[in-house]
Structure 1
Amino acid sequence: MDPRGMMLLFGAIVCELIGTNALKAADGFTRLMPTLLVIAGYGASFYLMSLSLRTIPLGVAYAIWSGLGTAAIAVIGVLVWREQLNITGVIGIVLIIAGVVLLNMFGGSEQ
């Protein structure tokens, strides 16, 4: 896969993580600054994702974006927001990461 496309995709993931954490902090959109960060984070994420789709197949890009985003948010939830994660959640995150690795190794089609 194209390195530039992957960098754009990882930038999209980082922006999505920022937006999702701000969503938690926005407290139902009752706090202005986190709410603005939600809008900026998701807007930047979608923009960067759209640019990454120039060189990465849609299915692969979306699987990486959603899979890594889900796994990272679960970890951030535990570390930052003090949320609980049981063994079933840990196994699920490991499976998501394994799926992303497999897609990167064997699932990408050249455009």
Structure 2
Amino acid sequence: MNYYYTLLLLAILFEVFGTTCMKLSEGFSKLLPSTLIFVFYAISFTFFTFALKKLDVSIAYAIWAGLGTALITIIGIYGFKEPVNAMKMASLFLVVIGVVGLNLSDRLS
């Protein structure tokens, strides 16, 4: 995997950590998860900014947003016991297919 895609992956993971802390903070009522939101997002944006040195912003942002959405959906289902149905799973599948398609389009050009 390309170094810049590794930075992008790290940006995605820290964004997911930050978003998970949003849920855990219970509306900023818990100090540690509330603080970690900002820490994780700062780390995420730092990695993302470095990844953008060599990656196209349109492709990188779509991958960042798409994979982040997919991971948060999985965390919501398994970690927070959110309801799951066929429409949610089909939509998640389409997000993943879209990310793969964007990644392939970058390599085909």
TM bin, normalised by shorter chain, reads over 0.9
The number of equivalent residue pairs is: 109
Following the alignment from structure 1 to structure 2, what is the Cα–Cα distance between the partners of residues 63 and 102?
Answer: 10
Which amino acid in the other structure matches residue 92 of structure 2? I
Gap runs ≥5 in structure 1? none
Following the alignment from structure 2 to structure 1, what is the Cα–Cα distance between the partners of residues 47 and 67?
Answer: 15
Following the alignment from structure 2 to structure 1, what is the Cα–Cα distance between the partners of residues 86 and 52?
Answer: 35
Counterpart for residue 76 of structure 2: 77
Deviates more, 1:84-93 or 1:65-74: 84-93
User: Sequence identity of aligned pairs in percent?
Assistant: 35
Once the two structures are superposed, residues 19-66 of structure 1 have per-residue CA deviations (whole angstroms, 9 ceiling, x without a partner) of: 011000000001100011101111111111011000100000000000
Aligned pairs for 1:6-85 (under 5 A) are 6-85=5-84
Following the alignment from structure 2 to structure 1, what is the Cα–Cα distance between the partners of residues 108 and 45?
Answer: 22
Say whether the 8 Å CA contact 1:60–1:108 is kept in structure 2.
Answer: no
Scaled by the length of structure 1, the TM-score of the pair is: 0.93
Alignment root-mean-square deviation, CA:
1.4
Say whether the 8 Å CA contact 1:12–1:65 is kept in structure 2.
Answer: yes
Shift of 1:11: 0.2
Shift of 1:71: 0.5
Counterpart for residue 96 of structure 1: 95
Following the alignment from structure 1 to structure 2, what is the Cα–Cα distance between the partners of residues 90 and 107?
Answer: 26
Scaled by the length of structure 2, the TM-score of the pair is: 0.95
The alignment partner of 1:82 has SS state of: coil
